[in-house]
Structure 1
Amino acid sequence: MTKIGIEATSTFFPAGIESASLLANKTGIPENIITDKFGLYEKHVADETMHASDMAIEAARPIVDQYGPDTIDVVIYFGSPHKDYYVWTCASKIQHELGLKKAYAFEIMNVSSGFPVALKVAKDMIKADHTIQSILLVGGCKESQIVDYTNPRSRFMFNFGDGGCAALIKRDSLVSEILESAIITDGSFHQDVRIPAGGSKNFASHETVEQRKHYIDVHNPADMKERLDPVSIPNFEKVIRKSLQKSGLSSENLSLLLPLHTKRSMFNQLLSSLDLPEEKAIYLDHHGHMSSLDPCVGLHLAQEQGRLSHGDIAVAVSAGTGYTWAATVIKWMGTK
């Protein structure tokens, strides 16, 4: 049976850094709250010259240089929907700038839950189409730009940071194998988190700019919290356990959890629900939350830190507003 896996990963982070101290000054929130409760010591922030597509391109370059542009059949952008332009695909720019003339390109978007979903899509595409040998997943994020630090309703999103990542998905990979996925969507949350203006419902105008409606916002935080808190950790746990079960495994086999960046208390709750020690998870307290990129960044950091050994089982798990929880299991074989 054909094994389809992640052959290589790469990341890119802009030079700009916002420390917890700087965030404390911008928000009025004490620095110790930002480090201890937000779980954030610093995050990368891009300047006005760098955008989501640029960071995705820079992240993918090392992979393209190593494997060659002619080896890549498909490019899938799975990153932040806050891109260089609205109603625009950056996948085609990425394909062009990287010289991937053989590959076609498209995008999938499921906000922060994108990476586990993208892994499933890439695996299923290669499995279904014998002409596809490799797929390059690329993501970029500049969501620090859409945070209004004066708006307490969006406080839980103050950890948004910037960066890029890429993963090469390959037929007959010797490095890893993508196993099964599990996904839950609860669309009752579809109205809770959004940028209020700029779309067709509230088109951009002088008034929307003056009223600061082009930043991400939560309509009613207390109401969302009341509805979300009872289901969030259980749904995280469900998709993790179900993806493992579909892979013929259990949580006892879990070697490393690769979650999105959340506040420290939620991270600890998730570990507790899985009976998993903290050393078996990656926590991005020096990067923050980068939309759908987090689990891919976590996987790359885990490789750099030597935290994956032959036979290890990792789970990439994330959740995106709207609200979707997604997990994909990865069996690690080694490095080339």
Structure 2
Amino acid sequence: MNSTIGIERTSAYFPDGVETAEQLAEKTGIPEQIIIEKFGLFKKHVAGKEMHASDLAIEAARPILTKIDPLAIDVIIYFGSPHKDYYVWSAAAKIQHELGAKNAYAFEMMNVSSCFPIALKVAKDMIIADESIENILLVGGCKESQIVDYDNPRSRFMFNFADGGAAALVTRKSRQSEILNSAIITDGSFYHDVLVPAGGSQNFPSEETVKNKQHYIDVTDPSDMKARLDDVSIKNFERVIKEAIDKSGLKMKDVQVLLPLHTKRSMFEELLKIVGLQEENAIYLDHHGHMSALDPCIGLHFAEKKGKLKRNNIVLAVSAGTGYTWAATAIKWKGW
């Protein structure tokens, strides 16, 4: 294994639109202080009608391509939200074209919110397996604020869904970091709990599906899902975290920085307990919200910008996505 395979650069992009906790309180009927204190959200970014997931991804990638020739990118992997500009359509192709990465082939990975730690594993494994690959651009966009129905009591708790873009350059000879090992768990018994009811082959779009607002995200039975999820979620987070650390030849005490997806505060605090860290050693996106698979990538970008990453720090990207999949990837920060 080439031990220098790592993340060389990261970038993030956020649209200008903002919704505050006060505005979300008006939409949801949940008190502003509860949104801030329990759900961990002061505000989130919201894209306008002119920007879509692909556009957010493209804008996130542009700063990276001021540091590397677009023609030096060998592969582009879109790892962002499945709620894209169009259905049955590849955002990766548009991204490749708009960025001028003519030598790259492009494809998409989709495992909803769990996808960034998995995308790091896939990129690393591809570089190990194929000597011709030097640079892989991971890029994602999210406009999931658009699919929250605030009139639906089953799903309006997902008001933290937000918009943005994220990108990471994974390279064969990284001076910045080293991607270590990953762990992934899927419990497919949750496959039908969270979905957009209409738009696919099960429930093709019609006048009725639009009238019934079935093109927004929904939870089929919230109390049942919560009961089953509460029993396994923390256990599975702990398992993937420990396995990723163990497979990397490390101990839990070696972890210095945690990069989780945005969750309610109680879950965030549980994750901190698992790794034995204080909040100042993590990135909690309480001013940005949850952006599908983008959160840990954005967290890494923020951690670098805020000076939280020191030479030889062990960083842990942790996420989970409906379906239900839990994933973690360990990263060794090298610095310049």
Relative to the length of structure 2, the TM-score reads 0.99
Moved more, 23-32 or 139-148: 23-32
Counterpart residue number, 1:72: 73
Aligned amino acid, residue 127 of structure 2: I
The Cα shift of 1:218 comes to: 0.3
Greater Cα shift, 275-284 or 177-186: 275-284
Alignment partner, residue 212 of structure 1: 213
Q: List per-residue Cα deviations over 1:142-168 (Å, max 9, x = no partner).
A: 000000011121133110000000000
User: Residue 96 in 1 paired to residue 97 in 2?
Assistant: yes
Matches within 5 A, 1:221-236: 221-236=222-237
For 1:259-278, list aligned pairs within 5 A: 259-278=260-279
1:258 equivalent in structure 2: 259
Which residue of structure 1 lines up, in the alignment, with residue 294 of structure 2? 293
Cα distance in structure 1, aligned partners of 2:313 and 2:221: 42
Q: CA deviation at 1:278?
A: 1.3
What code does the residue aligned with 2:67 have? Q
Residue 191 (structure 1) aligned with residue 197 (structure 2): no
Whole-angstrom CA distance in 1 between matches of 2:108 and 2:95: 11
What is the rounded CA distance, in whole Å, between the counterparts of 1:29 and 1:248 in structure 2?
45
Q: Distance in 2 between matches of 1:100 and 1:277?
A: 41
Aligned 1:89-238 pairs, distance under 5 A: 89-238=90-239
- Give the whole-Å Cα distance in 2 for the aligned partners of 1:196 and 1:334: 45
Deviation at 1:264, TM superposition (A): 0.6
CA contact under 8 A between 2:255 and 2:275: conserved in structure 1? no
1:16-60 CA-partner distances (Å, limit 9, x unpaired): 000000101111111001101110000000000000000000000
Cα displacement (A) at 1:126: 0.3
Shift >4 Å, 4+ stretches: none
Counterpart of 2:51? 50
Question: How far off its partner does 1:276 sit?
Answer: 2.0
Unaligned runs of 5+ in 1: none
TM-score, normalised on structure 1?
0.99
Contact 2:256/2:277, CA 8 A, preserved across alignment: no
Q: Which amino acid aligns with 1:183?
A: I
Whole-angstrom CA distance in 2 between matches of 1:174 and 1:164 = 24
Could you tell which deviates more after superposition, 60-69 or 324-333? 60-69
User: Residue type matched to 2:136 in 1?
Assistant: I
Shift of 1:184: 0.2
1:165 counterpart letter in structure 2: A
Question: What code does the residue aligned with 2:131 have?
Answer: H
SS of 1:153 mapped into structure 2: coil
Which segments of 5 or more consecutive residues in structure 2 lack a partner in the other structure? none
Distance 1:115 1:274 in 2: 19
Q: CA deviation at 1:64?
A: 1.1
Contact map agreement 2:259 2:282 (CA 8 A) in 1: yes
1:333 matched residue in structure 2: 334
Deviations 1:94-136 (A, max 9, x none): 0000000010000000000010000000000000000000100
- Where 1:150 maps in the other structure, the secondary structure is coil
Once residues 308 and 65 of structure 1 are traced to their aligned partners in structure 2, the CA distance between those partners, rounded to angstroms, is 23
Q: Which residue does the alignment assign to 2:9? A: 8
Q: Secondary structure at the match of 1:297?
A: helix
Deviations 1:160-180 (A, max 9, x none): 000000000000101000000
Whole-angstrom distance in 1 between the partners of 2:59 and 2:196 = 27
Distance in 1, matches of 2:152 and 2:202, equals: 22
Quote the Cα distance in structure 2 between the aligned partners of 1:254 and 1:330: 9
